[in-house]
Structures are given as C-alpha cells and as structure tokens.
Amino acid sequence: MRDLIEEFKNEVICYTEKISDEEWVNFRAGLKPVCFKRGDTIFQSNKVCKEVFFIVDGIAASEFHKENECVVTRFFRSKNLCSNVMSYFTSEVVNDRIFAITNIKGVMIPKDLFNNSYLYSRGIGLYFRKILLENSLEAKMLISVKTMSGVESKLKFLQESYPEIILEAPWKYIANFIGITPEWLSRTLNKKKHQLQKTI
C-alpha cells in the first residue's frame, strides 16, 4: 500500500532545502491520508472549509452553484493543494463545491496545522508559500482560458498545458468548463484524433 504521507513529504522536500526531524514528526502527527472515489465531495458547499487537501494522485474540480446551474470553474491535479479558499479564509459558507472527477488519493491538512506552518515554519512553511503562489498563478491561467473566444483555443490550451485532464477526466466536466455540450466536445476530439491518424 502506498504511503501517501511519505509521498507528500518527498514533494515538500523538493521545494525546501531541509526539514528537521522534529518539525516533520510534529507536523506529520496532524496529517490524515484519505482517498475519494470519482464523484465524491471533498469540500462541501454548505459547510465552512477547515482543511487543505494535498492531491497525491488524481483530479478534482471546483463547481460553482447558482440557482439551478452548476459551472466547473477550475481543476486541481496531482501535486496541487486544494481547498474551498473563500470559505477557508472567511470562515463562511460559499456556493462552491470541490469534488473528485477521478479516484483521488491524498493527504488532508487541518487548518490550524496549515496556518501555523505557513506563517512560522522555514521548512514546510516555505513549501506552502511557494506552492500557493504557483496555485494562484495556475488559477489565473484557468480563469483566462474561460474568457478566451473560441472553443478551439480553449481546447488547445487544455491539451497543451493539462494533457492529463483531457486524458483522464470525464468529458462532461471538460465540456462544462469550456462552455460547450459533451457531444460537441466528443465530436471535436474525435475529429482531431482522426486527423492525427491520417498524418501517421
């Protein structure tokens, strides 16, 4: 069985020079390895978010609820930190749900543990500060994709920058994110596949 916490530690070490044994032992004690099946809710829209989730393997999506409509606003992939950010920082209920769109394995980090490390740690905290900056830039990129004109441009960006999402995520979520029907997406991708086969 995979040691999810150890895999998380290896990722942290990639971003930092060194973590003391004492710091890691104290930090590890508060971590919880968790698995979600496809479709499971990771963070609910009707509850205040009090944790941060590190994805070891799999893909999640954030879904915004408005009246009778649900819109996929962004994706989270392996090695991403994910949380319902607005709820986490304001301690209020918001209309976003984060859920697994593939089977997911990862590590759940309680809010107090995350905040303390983020603010005061030179080891694990440095990792959190760096990765949150990357996550923020990634979120801005995904928002810019949604404002692009033309389905082809959006799809091209996802294929080049997020190939694992195109390959592993159910098409209905990709279609929702782009703003088209799953049938249209299916026809477009199959057409591209056919064109590629003709060049081989």
> With bands split at pLDDT 50, 70 and 90, how would you rate the model's confidence at 91?
confident
8-state DSSP, 115: H
- Distances in whole angstroms, Cα of residue 34 to Cα of each of 4, 30, 53, 81, 196: 8, 13, 9, 14, 39
- Distances in whole angstroms, Cα of residue 186 to Cα of each of 22, 23, 181, 192: 52, 49, 9, 10
Compute the distance between CA of residue 109 and CA of residue 52 in angstroms, rounded to an integer: 5
What average pLDDT is seen over the chain? 87
Compute the distance between CA of residue 5 and CA of residue 108 in angstroms, rounded to an integer: 9
Higher pLDDT: 104 or 156? It is 104
Q: What is the reported pLDDT for 200?
A: 42
CATH topology of domain 4-147: Jelly Rolls (2.60.120)
Q: What is the reported pLDDT for 196?
A: 45
* Range in 45-54, 70-79, 118-127, 156-165 the model is least confident about: 156-165
- pLDDT for 7-64, tens place per residue? 999 999 988 877 889 999 999 999 999 999 999 999 988 889 999 999 999 999 999 8
> With bands split at pLDDT 50, 70 and 90, how would you rate the model's confidence at 199?
very low
Residue ranges of domains in the chain? 4-147, 148-200
Q: What is the reported pLDDT for 122?
A: 85
Q: What is the reported pLDDT for 67?
A: 74
Q: What is the reported pLDDT for 192?
A: 63
Tell me the mean pLDDT in the region 61-82.
87
- CB atoms closer than 10 angstroms to residue 25: 9
- Asked if pLDDT for residue 195 goes beyond 60, the answer is no
- Asked if pLDDT for residue 185 goes beyond 70, the answer is yes
